[in-house]
Structure 1
Amino acid sequence: MKIEGRGFIVAGGGSGLGLATARGLREAGAQVGVLDLKRGEWDGPCATADVADQAEVEQAIDTLISEIGELRGLLNTTGMGHSGLSVGPGRKVTAAGFRRVLEVNTLGSFILAQAAAERMIGSRSDEHGERGVIVSTSSIVAFEGQIGTAAYAAAKGGINAMTLPLAREFGRYGIRVITIAPGIFETPMFSQARGPMVDWLREQVVYPGRPGEAVEFAEMVAHIVRNRMLNGTVIRLDGAYRVPQGRHDWWVD
């Protein structure tokens, strides 16, 4: 699908991977709107919503469509974690925290995909029969969750699991569904993190031997949009990094 002149919404586009992608799509000629709790550094059309609230999401998407035109692409980079030990000394994970992580990451991804697809269905398809593309963001933690990441791994694993069923369902309308599972990237959240675990993680990327840069994530999104054969799968973007088991004492105060 072409990027130029098409309408895209980036959920979580106020900062980090989402902001880099929103800027990259705009530079490529797209009409871009951002859906986020805060505008952040984005200087274009923006609407606020809690992605776990269906009514808020649908209202925000409709507001953005009125500014960017017909919706052809949606990228979701929103997410949150709830890390820590689940049992024993130093236990930090709560049922309420676990539930909220599922609501934001997994349910939020579904709500966004559903709302976007409903609006794409009514649009005219291009010369290849395509109406749009939906890209969600998972994590390699969904494949190799280390100690202390049970809630986050479960939530991101849910995103992975829904990718193929949604692609198969939405395919009849010419809508593709893809998930990117990034490894370690230099987002504001990771760049500001401190401690022995963070220092050690930085050293584990095989090549290019450093955390990913947000622009590299944006380049992957652009390729997905343009390549019609990418559909119904989860793409790892991790520099051959594999999440290790981790240590219990990293999570104990």
Structure 2
Amino acid sequence: MELKHITAIVTGGASGMGEATVRHITAAGGKVIIFDMNEEKGHALAKEIGADTALFLKTNVSDATEVEGNLAIALEKFGNIHVVVNCAGIATPGKVLSKKGPHSLKQFEQVLQVNLVGTFNMIRLAADAMQHNEADLDGQRGVIINTASVAAYEGQIGQAAYSASKGGIVGMTLPIARELASIGVRVMTIAPGLVETPLFAGLPENAQRALADLTPFPHRLGKPSEYAQLVESIIQNTMLNGEVIRLDGAVRLQPR
């Protein structure tokens, strides 16, 4: 499956790793539908790329009705969806017990709702659309790529909700890949380490340097373009299925 022949949905596609993926796919000749909550950035990116190649649809990935409706719009415009890259997510830190009291249950639920439930919502609806695609010589009809985090394995203090949500994505990768094999849809997950996203860009320079020092090699923060590069490799390599790939420069997070 080559990028120039695909139509992809990228959730969280208006910034960070999602935006890099959108740019990477469209630069190679593919078409992309951007699902994101940020209307200003989403519309600006789609306009920059061009209406024939990119479409922005404001989407709450955890809203079943909204995703169904926007998926229908995407199919009407481009005909097929071959790839879904799930980058949408939030990271709201909070200790189980802090000076303010116990962790907010509402906050915990919100992180799981967006990161885990939202990812599953996209998977189930995308798979339903992909099963109608024409199969290639391997019988392949689509590829779904999720985004977890190294925090799924080495969550730090204050990351209970985030780690739980990303651990859930890791845990459901294989069973869903096994199930969707029957319709020729592959399911993969990328677990990035410390990546130079807008979240990190807002930190002081010394804080960014300290975070970069945690990565053994290369001794820097990851780049969103490197995530997009791995997305391309997964799309092209049909044998990659049911696995989580750490994209982290061998970093292992410490408790704090």
TM-score bin (small chain):
over 0.9
CA contact (8 A) 1:32 1:68 kept: no
Distance in 1, Cα, partners of 2:211 & 2:96? 22
Which residue does the alignment assign to 2:220? 210
Distance in 1, Cα, partners of 2:247 & 2:239? 18
TM-score normalised by structure 1 residue count: 0.93
Distance 1:82 1:28, change over 3 A: same
Between stretches 211-220 and 195-204, larger displacement belongs to 195-204
Identity across matched positions, percent? 39
> Does the alignment pair 1:134 with 2:151?
no
Between stretches 220-229 and 87-96, larger displacement belongs to 87-96
Please list, as runs of the form range in 1=range in 2, the aligned pairs for 1:89-168 lying within 5 A after superposition: 89-91=99-101, 93-168=103-178
Q: Which runs of 5+ in 2 are unaligned?
A: 47-53
Q: What amino acid is the match of 2:45?
A: W
C-alpha deviation, 1:93, in angstroms: 2.8
Q: What amino acid is the match of 2:230?
A: M
CA contact (8 A) 1:7 1:70 kept: yes
SS in structure 1 of the partner of residue 122 of structure 2: helix
Q: Which runs of 5+ in 1 are unaligned?
A: 247-253
C-alpha deviation, 1:202, in angstroms: 2.3
Distance 1:186 1:92, change over 3 A: farther
TM-score normalised by structure 2 residue count: 0.92
Which residue does the alignment assign to 1:13? 13
C-alpha deviation, 1:52, in angstroms: 0.9
Distance in 1, Cα, partners of 2:98 & 2:148? 29
Structure 1's consecutive aligned runs of 4 or more residues displaced over 6 angstroms after TM superposition are none
> Does the alignment pair 1:87 with 2:111?
no
C-alpha deviation, 1:4, in angstroms: 1.6
CA deviations 1:217-242 (Å, max 9, x no partner) are 00000000000111001110001111
Distance in 1, Cα, partners of 2:98 & 2:193? 29
Q: Provide the aligned C-alpha RMSD in A.
A: 1.5
CA deviations 1:126-148 (Å, max 9, x no partner) are 12210000001000001000111
Distance 1:182 1:92, change over 3 A: farther
Distance in 1, Cα, partners of 2:200 & 2:102? 20
CA deviations 1:187-239 (Å, max 9, x no partner) are 11121134976553221111111001111000000000000111001110001
The structure 2 residue matched to 1:49, chosen from 43, 53, 59, is 59
